[in-house]
Amino acid sequence: MDKVYVEGMEFYGYHGVFAEENKLGQRFKVDLSASLDLSEAGKTDNIDATINYADLYHICRDVVEGKPVKLVETLAETITAKVLETFPNVSECKVKVIKPDPPIPGHYQSVAIEMTRTRQ
């Protein structure tokens, strides 16, 4: 299956279990891939036969910069669901939500959740 990738997106959100995270906010990074048949787009050079990268970016931005949630898992689930709902030609969506510098003891570069959802 062909894939469209949008990687390295960065947003500022107010998600987390700790009250400080909800008050101060923090950066989140998102990588996304969407699986779909791109053969017609490749043969016809027609944008309507694919999906627009900007639309995928806006879905991720709206979720991460939107209503605060406690879990990074909730962000990933919401993004994959919105991509599958918005684009009927996408058969699978994989998203990785990265939380740089998490507020937990120890030395961490980041923590992340990667989630894959397939159209039923």
Query: Tens of pLDDT along 43-80?
Result: 999 999 999 999 999 999 999 999 999 999 999 999 99
Given 29, 94, 96, 99, the catalytic residue: 99
- Determine the pLDDT at residue 106: 79
99 given a catalytic annotation: yes
- Determine the pLDDT at residue 51: 96
CB 28, CB 10: distance < 8 Å: yes
- Determine the pLDDT at residue 103: 77
For 8, 11, 49, 70, the CA distances from 91, given in Å and listed in that order, are 22, 26, 14, 28
Give the Cα separation of 10 and 23 in Å (integer).
19
Q: What is the pTM of this model?
A: 0.94
Query: Tens of pLDDT along 71-116?
Result: 999 999 999 999 999 999 999 999 999 999 777 777 778 899 999 9
- Tokens linked to 26: 């923090």
Domains of the chain with CATH codes: 2-118 (3.30.1130.10)
